Amino acid sequence: METMSRDVAAMSGYGASSAAAGPTMHQWSPYVMNSGTVMAICGKDFAVIAGDTRMSVGYQIQSRNVGKLLKVTDKAVLGTGGHCQADTLNLQKLLRARMVQYEHQNGKTPKTSAVAQLVSQMLYGRRFFPLLTKNIVAGLDEDGVGCVYTFDVVGCLERVRVACDGSAEELIQPVLDNLLERQHQQDKPKPPPLHVDLSREDVVNIVKDAFTSAGERDITTGDHVDIWVIDASGVHQEKFDLKYD
């Protein structure tokens, strides 16, 4: 398009492509993909959630240090990958406000399952103009057992043992299925119903390996990984370095 600012088009990765005759109507996309990956695994009395800190647009890294995790309560963390960061921010802000309202009204913090349900409702509330966010909620349930909830972009909710979402989902999820779920491995023990059967150290190491591997092939996953472990004593935060290229 003649008057389209080149740099704007290059930077957004959208919108430059419609010089066809006829009226121009609403062809602009309100979405921009800032991508990145989040994953979560839950154990008997802990949950681990991790997300890389790269924020990119197209082939450009906008920042190496924009986190994807939000501490929602002392027992629940929201992670958002494969996302439009503007939508993520909106979701996070709304969620934080709803948490404060819940506490004002009920004098306690909501359970992790309630947080997950709320996230689901908020996503579905934008059913016809979806928030471009791939979310995972990880934390402890009311019995102190680790829990992970996954969502699709419009709020379909499921409790799982392990989850991965975002740009490297296809790279990481099969590894998690193999190492932790083992659903079709006749000779291997199956995990318990609600969580995986590995120790906290093993799980954190799997997370580190998974992100290192994803960083090798996925250009939008890199820089650092925030690895947060949620247990009865709170949320413990760790940063793990990935490749800078």
Partner 1 sequence: MFRNQYDTDCITWSPAGRIHQIEYAMEAVKQGSAAVGLRSKTHALVASIKKSSNELSSYQKKIFKIDEHMGIAIAGLVPDGRVLAKYMRSECLNYRFVYDGPLQVGRLVAQVADKSQLGTQRAGHRPYGVGLLVAGYDQTGPHIFQTCPSGNFWEYHAFAIGSRSQAARTYLERRFEAFEELPLDELVMHALLSLRETLAAGAELTTSNVALGYVTAGGTFTVLEDEAVQPYLDMIGQADAPGAPGAAAQMEE
Partner 2 sequence: MFAQPADDPRKNTLRPMVTGTSAIGIKYKGGVMVATDTIACYGNWIRYKDVQRIHAVSKDTLIAMNGEMSDYQKVLQILEQKRLAEYCVDDGSTQTSAELHSYLTRVMYQKRCKFDPLWNMLLVGGFRNGEAYLGYTDLYGTHFEDNFLATGLGMYMALPLMRNQWTPEMSEADARALLQMALKICYYRDTRASNKVQIARVDASGVHIDEPITLQGEWNHARFVEGGAKSGDGGW
Whether 90 contacts 117, CB under 8 Å = no
Residue 63 in the binding site for partner 2 (CB under 8 A): yes
- The amino acid present at 156, given as its one-letter code, is C
Residue 199 in the binding site for partner 2 (CB under 8 A): no
Whether 149 contacts 137, CB under 8 Å = yes
Q: Between 23 and 189, whose beta carbon lies closer to partner 2?
A: 23
Cβ atoms within 10 Å, residue 173: 17
Helix axes 169-176, 200-217, angle to 10 degrees: 150
Q: Are strands 76-81 and 134-140 parallel, antiparallel or unpaired?
A: antiparallel
Residue 21 in the binding site for partner 1 (CB under 8 A): no
- Residue 104's binding partner, choosing from partner 1, partner 2, none, with beta-carbon cut-off 5 to 8 A by kind? partner 1
**Out of 22, 26, 104, 143, which residue is the one contacting partner 2 (CB under 8 A)?**
26
Residue 100 in the binding site for partner 1 (CB under 8 A): yes
Long-range pairs for 6-9: beta carbons < 8 A, 24 or more residues apart: none
User: Which chain residues interact with partner 1 by CB under 8 A?
Assistant: 93-94, 96-97, 100-101, 104
User: Which chain residues interact with partner 2 by CB under 8 A?
Assistant: 1-8, 10-12, 15, 23-28, 30-32, 34, 55, 57, 60-63, 65-66, 84-86, 89-90, 129
